[in-house]
Amino acid sequence: GAVVSQHPSRVICKSGTSVKIECRSLDFQATTMFWYRQFPKQSLMLMATSNEGSKATYEQGVEKDKFLINHASLTLSTLTVTSAHPEDSSFYICSARTTDSFNQPQHFGDGTRLSIL
């Protein structure tokens, strides 16, 4: 079945550094990728919708300059957390879909646990 690979699975870094998370669709072309953030014991909150070759659409309250999203190809989207601080520590999950139709479900990566010291 369709597989989405997310890398790294876990990252620990110092405050002030930038962290890049990759999301790859391994066996299909992902026209759209989504980035979610999940706090402990809470639901997934959509951060942004990323369409290949165009600018990402951010949800209200998500800082565009803080969370840089690039979707340069049909198989790769990246989320860069710039100048990360402890409050950015969270579980980040990406998902990908092949078409705009809900008949094609989203396929989720296994997530990235980000810890900022």
Distances (CA, A) of 22 to 42, 61, 75: 23, 22, 10
Which residues sit opposite 44 in a β-bridge?
A: 38
Site for another protein in 2-41 (CB under 8 A): 4, 6, 32, 34, 41
Is the CB of 17 or the CB of 57 nearer to another protein? Answer: 57
Q: Name the one range near another protein by CB under 8 A: 12-20, 66-74, 81-89, 97-105.
A: 97-105
- Say whether residue 97 binds another protein (CB under 8 A): yes
Is the CB of 3 or the CB of 18 nearer to another protein? Answer: 3
Tokens found for residue 108:
């989720």
Chain-centroid distance of CA 64 in Å reads 13
CA distance 49 to 15: 26
Is the CB of 42 or the CB of 73 nearer to another protein? Answer: 42
Is the CB of 59 or the CB of 63 nearer to another protein? Answer: 59
CA distance 52 to 65: 19
In terms of residues, how long is the chain?
117
- Say whether residue 44 binds another protein (CB under 8 A): yes
Minimum Å distance from CB 67 to another protein?
16
- Say whether residue 106 binds another protein (CB under 8 A): yes
